[in-house]
Amino acid sequence: MTSSKHRTIALFYCRNVPGSSEAERQAIEGTHGDTVRLFPLPCSGRLDMVHLMRALEEFADAAYLITCPEGTCRYFEGNTRAKKRVERTRTLIESIGLEGERVGIFMESNENPKPLAVLVEELKTAAFKLKPSPALKGAK
C-alpha cells in the first residue's frame, strides 16, 4: 500500500468558514505539505461537479467540500445547491466503480463551529482510511 505521504486530498471550502483567512490557509498548507490542497470559494454554491471530478482525475485520492451551516449561507441557497452537486458527483463516481466516500460534504454547525484547521485534520484522517485511488495509477 502506498504511504500516506503520497496521498492527497482536495478540500474546497466556503470563505465564510471560521479560520479560513488567507494566512490560515497558508499555515494549514505549510503544516500538511502536499497531502492537502485547499481551494477557497466565495460561496460553496460556486462549486460544480467538474471541480470535484477534475481533482479526483488529476491529483486527489478524495475531494471534500466544507460549507457554512445550513440555512446561514449569505447567498441564501449556496450550500444547499452544493450539497446536491456533491451527492450527484458521489453517484457518478460510484457508477464508474470508485468508492462514494471519495467525495463528501461537511456542513459547519451553528452551535459549535470548528475552525478550518480542525476540519482539515478530521477530513484528512477520514480520507486516508481509503485505499489510494485507482484512478491515479501512474499519475503521481
What is the predicted pLDDT for the residue at 68?
A: 85
Q: What is the pTM of this model?
A: 0.88
pLDDT of 77 > 90? The answer is no
In order of start, what are the domains of the chain with their CATH numbers? Answer: 4-132 (3.40.50)
Distance, in Å, from the CA atom of 93 to the CA atom of 84, rounded to the nearest integer, reads 14
- Give the residue-averaged pLDDT of 55-73: 90
Residue 108: band (very low, low, confident or very high) from pLDDT cuts 50, 70, 90: confident
- The grid coordinates of residue 37 equal 490542497
Task: Give pLDDT tens digits for 2-39.
Answer: 444 479 999 999 988 888 899 999 999 999 999 999 99
